[in-house]
Amino acid sequence: MANGRSGPAERFLSQHRIAVVGASRDPKGFSSGIFREMLKRGYDAVPVNPKATEIGGAVCFARVQDVNPRPEAAFMIVPAAAAEPALRDCIEAGVGHVWLFGISGPRSIDERLVELCRANGIDVVAGYCPYMFLPRAAWFHRLHGWIAKRMTGYAGRAD
């Protein structure tokens, strides 16, 4: 936290109930790993996938709007074609923090989605791998974060 202000990644990770939108039924999938990691770290993680009823032993919801109590934040790990409908679902559900995951970093995120978040008062992290920001992450995630932060200048700062 610099100057008493936290950045969007830090604010996102300070939430407790987090929807993992696009959670995969494949236990080897990236989104499954994020879901398990959030649970392991004590978050109240909730899987959201319209094609599943259960993921990793947890009840899976078709939409964020179906989750009760409402999540405070949502990781969006969905294909590009599903991103806008999933984001609109988060907006309708009243989610205040959204992490738009982009496999290739910020350049892989549609800027219209970022603007849609901002226009609806949603605090947004756009394109970064969440593992880069998790405390005590494996060394290769920390290295990835160190490189990305130096190349892009992004350090989870307030936008």
Peptide bond into 85 cis (omega under 30): no
Token digits of residue 140: 């290769």
Give me the pLDDT at residue 98, please.
Answer: 97
Q: At 42, which amino acid appears?
A: G
The whole-number average pLDDT for the span 88-109 is 81
Q: Among 108, 145, 118, which residue's Cα sits nearest to residue 10? A: 145
The whole-number average pLDDT for the span 75-98 is 94
Give me the pLDDT at residue 1, please.
Answer: 38
Give me the pLDDT at residue 109, please.
Answer: 80
pLDDT in tens, 103-133: 444 456 889 999 999 999 999 998 777 877 7
Residues sharing a CB contact under 8 Å with residue 148, sequence separation 6 or more, in sequence order: 105, 128, 129, 132, 154
For 112, half-sphere exposure in the C-beta direction (CA atoms, 13 angstrom radius) is 5
Task: Go through the domains of the chain in sequence order and give each one's CATH number.
Answer: 8-152 (3.40.50.720)
Give me the pLDDT at residue 153, please.
Answer: 55
Q: What are phi and psi of 142, to 5 degrees?
A: -65, -40
Q: What are phi and psi of 95, to 5 degrees?
A: -70, 135
